[in-house]
Amino acid sequence: MTGTDVSVSVPGCVTLGGSHALVTNGPIVSSAIDSRLRIRVERTDGDGVGIDSPFGGQLFQTSALLGSGSPQGTPEGAEIAVGKGGRTVSGWAVLSSIFDALGCTADEVAGLRFHIERADAFPLGVGLSSSSALVVGCLAATAALGERKLSRFEIAESTADIEEALWEHPHPVHPYAIAQGGTVHSVEPADPIRLTAPLLIGLPKTSRSRDAVAERCRTSGSRFGSRYDRIVDFANECTDAIAAAARAGDRQRVREELAFAGGLDEALGVLSPQSRTVRARMLSQINTVGVKQSDVGPRAIVMALLSDPGDALDVKRLLSQIGVETIETELSAEGLRYVDVPA
C-alpha cells in the first residue's frame, strides 16, 4: 500500500420504516444519523494486523486473516468480537472478510493497525448500527490506503455482501445509508434521500430479543392467518409511503406515516410493552411525531422525530422514564467522510 495513514468517519443509522421486515422480509427505510464512528488505519513496520478498540486491542497473524477457512471461524486466542442481531463474530472474521472483498495480498496488509474511536453520543450495541458502521469504515479506510478507487455505493455493496456472510438476518439497507448518507429505501438503495430532521433516541433498559420477536410474529401469524398477512401488507405499504413522502420532501406526511407505523408494529408484535406505553404518551405531546421502536434486540431503541429541536425537552422527560440514556441528534444527509487522507 502506498499511503501510511487514512482516517474516515461514518454515521450510525436508524430504521424509520420496516422494523417488522426483520422477520417478514419486507421493505426497509433506513436513515443516517448525525452521530459518528471514527476509524483510522495506519501502515507500520510491525508484523501482523492490529486492532485498537474501546474494548481493548489485539494482534492477528497475517496468514490467518488471508487464509481460505470459513470467515466464521475464530483462531485460538482471539478476543475482539463484533455483535449484530444476537450473533457474535470475531474481529478476525470481520477483517478477513474485508481483505478478501478488496483482494488484498499479504504484503498489503502486513503491519496494518486499525484504531477505532467513538464519540460519547455513539454508544455501541444498542441498535444504532455500530457493527455496519465499523465494517463500512474499516473497508473504506483500507481501500483508500491502498489507493483503490471505490464509490460510496460500491463500499455499501461490499459491506452488504460481507454482512450477509457474517450475520444472520442483517439489515441489507443499513450499509447504504451509512456509506452514502441520507435516508435509503431498500427498493432503491443507490438513490439516497436527503431528508434531515431533529431526532431523539431513547435507549431502553430492556426489550424483547430478536428471537422473542420472531416467535411472537410466528404465533400471531398462526393465530390470525390471513388477517395477520393483511397487517404485514399494510406495514409494507406504510414503509413505502414513508420513503415516498421523504423523497417528496413532505416532512409532515413522513411524521404521519411514522406514527401509523408505530401502531402497525404494535399489531405485528414488534413493540415491547414499555415502548408501547411511552409511544402512547409521547404521541399525546403536540410537537412529538413519529414514535417507534427502531430495531429489535437486547437494547432496541425508541425514537421520536420532532418538529424542531426546541421541542425536545418534554419528550426527553418521557424517554428518560424507560431509558438509561437519551441521545439528541438528527437525521443526517452526510455519510462516509474522509477525515485525514494523506497526500
Distance between CA 87 and CA 17 in Å, rounded? 23
On whether the 5-193 domain is CATH 3.30.230.10, my answer is: yes
Say which residues have a Cβ less than 8 Å from residue 15's Cβ, sequence separation at least 6.
Answer: 28, 29, 30, 171, 294, 295
Domain boundaries, given as residue ranges, for the chain: 5-193, 197-331
Q: What is the CATH number of domain 197-331?
A: 3.30.70.890
Query: Could you tell me the three cell numbers for 147?
Result: 489507493
Give the residue from 18, 165, 13 showing the smallest Cα distance to 87.
165
C-alpha to C-alpha distances, 200 to 160, 183, 280, nearest whole angstrom:
27, 16, 16
Tell how strand 49-53 and strand 29-43 pair up. Answer: unpaired
Are 159 and 139 contacting, i.e. CB atoms less than 8 angstroms apart? yes
Distance between CA 90 and CA 15 in Å, rounded? 25
pLDDT of residue 77: 47
pLDDT of residue 73: 45
Are 184 and 193 contacting, i.e. CB atoms less than 8 angstroms apart? yes
pLDDT of residue 57: 79
Q: Do domains 5-193 and 197-331 have the same CATH topology?
A: no
pLDDT of residue 92: 79
Over the chain (343 residues), what is each successive 10-residue block's mean pLDDT?
Answer: 79 86 85 91 88 80 71 50 63 86 90 84 76 92 92 95 80 90 94 89 66 78 87 92 93 82 76 60 55 51 72 74 76 87 51
Q: What is the pTM of this model?
A: 0.86
pLDDT of residue 52: 85
Where are the extended beta strands (E) located within the chain? 5-17, 29-43, 49-53, 56-60, 81-84, 87-90, 112-118, 183-185, 197-204, 288-293, 302-306, 323-331, 337-338
Say which residues have a Cβ less than 8 Å from residue 261's Cβ, sequence separation at least 6.
Answer: 17, 235, 238, 239, 242, 290, 292
